[in-house]
Amino acid sequence: MSGNSPFNRSGLTRRSPPSTPTPQPGPPGPAPANMQQEEEPPKVIPTSDIQTWLKKIELNLQDVCSTSAEGKLNTDQKIRINNMCRSVGHLASQMAIEYQSLKNHAIQAYQARQAHQEKMDLVQRIQDLKQSIEESSRQVTGPSFADALKNNGTRYVQPSNISSVAIYPVDKLKSSEETKSLVQKIIRPDEMKLHVRGLRKIKNGGVVISTDSKEDVIKLKQSEQLTTSGLTVDEPQKRKPRIVVIGVPADMQEPEVLKCIYHQNLADKLQDWSLEKFMASTKLSHKSGKKDAETCNYIIEVSGVIRKALITNDRVFVNWSSCPVRDFTLVTRCFKCQLYNHAAKTCKMDINICGHCGEAGHSFKECTKKDEAPKCATCSHYKKQCNHQTGDAACPARQMAEKRYLNSIDYEGA
Ligand SMILES: [Zn+2]
Ligand SMILES: [Zn+2]
Ligand SMILES: [Zn+2]
88 — phi, psi (to 5°)? -60, -45
CA 203 – ligand 3 centroid, Å: 26
342 alpha carbon, closest ligand: 1
Question: To which H or E segment does residue 362 belong?
Answer: none
CA 355 – ligand 2 centroid, Å: 7
Residues 275 and 297 in one domain: yes
407 — phi, psi (to 5°)? -70, -20
Question: Has residue 131 been placed in a domain?
Answer: yes
> Residues with beta carbon < 5 A to ion ligand 2?
354, 356-357, 367
Q: What is the pLDDT of residues 179-198, one digit of tens each?
A: 999 999 888 888 888 888 88
Position 158 confidence tier, pLDDT thresholds 50, 70, 90: low
- Cα–Cα distance between 170 and 184 in angstroms, integer? 17
Contacts of 275 (CB under 8 A, 6+ apart): 259, 262, 263, 267
Closest CA to 208 of 161, 185, 176: 176
Greater confidence (351 vs 161) lies with 351
Residues 70 and 123 in one domain: yes
Residues 312 and 248 in one domain: yes
Q: What is the CATH number of the domain that holds 304?
A: 3.30.70
Residues 100 and 175 in one domain: no
**Residue 273, Ramachandran bin (φ over 0: left; ψ between -120 and 50: alpha; else beta):** beta
Q: Output the pLDDT for position 204.
A: 86
Q: How many separate domains does the chain show?
A: 3
At which of 278, 301, 327 does a domain end? 327
Question: Has residue 220 been placed in a domain?
Answer: yes
What's the DSSP call for residue 360?
B
Asked whether the predicted pLDDT for residue 147 surpasses 80, the reply is no
Residues 297 and 256 in one domain: yes
Q: Rounded to 10 degrees, what is the CA torsion of 230, 234, 239, 241?
A: 150
Work out the average pLDDT over 390-398.
Answer: 91
Question: Has residue 381 been placed in a domain?
Answer: no
Residues 202 and 277 in one domain: no
**DSSP codes joined into one string, 317-347:** EETTEEEEEEE--PPPB-TTT--BSS-GGG-
Question: Has residue 35 been placed in a domain?
Answer: no
Angle separating helix axes 47-70 and 75-140, nearest 10 degrees: 170
361 alpha carbon, closest ligand: 2
Owning domain of residue 315: 242-327
CA 276 – ligand 3 centroid, Å: 44
Residues 213 and 274 in one domain: no
At which of 301, 327, 353 does a domain end? 327
- C-alpha torsion sign, points 130, 136, 137, 139: positive
- Cα–Cα distance between 85 and 61 in angstroms, integer? 6
Residues 192 and 260 in one domain: no
Strand 321-327 relative to strand 242-249: parallel, antiparallel, unpaired?
antiparallel
Question: Has residue 316 been placed in a domain?
Answer: yes
What's the DSSP call for residue 303?
-
Question: Has residue 169 been placed in a domain?
Answer: yes
Residues 47 and 132 in one domain: yes
Residues 227 and 257 in one domain: no
Whole-model pTM: value is 0.52
381 alpha carbon, closest ligand: 3
CA 162 – ligand 1 centroid, Å: 28
Residues 181 and 270 in one domain: no
- Cα–Cα distance between 211 and 199 in angstroms, integer? 9
Radius of gyration of the chain (CA): 41
Q: Output the pLDDT for position 135.
A: 66
CA 51 – ligand 1 centroid, Å: 80
Give the lowest-confidence range in 110-119, 142-151, 331-340: 142-151
Q: What is the CATH number of the domain that holds 171?
A: 3.30.70.330
Greater confidence (133 vs 144) lies with 133
Instruction: Enumerate the β-bridge partners of residue 200.
Output: 208
Q: What is the pLDDT of residues 71-108, one digit of tens each?
A: 788 888 888 888 888 888 888 888 888 888 888 888 88
At which of 181, 201, 234 does a domain end? 234
Closest CA to 137 of 370, 368, 352: 370
Share of the chain above pLDDT 70, in %: 84
Question: Has residue 409 been placed in a domain?
Answer: no
Q: Output the pLDDT for position 257.
A: 96
Question: Has residue 351 been placed in a domain?
Answer: no
Residues 186 and 270 in one domain: no
Asked whether the predicted pLDDT for residue 331 surpasses 70, the reply is yes
Q: Output the pLDDT for position 111.
A: 87
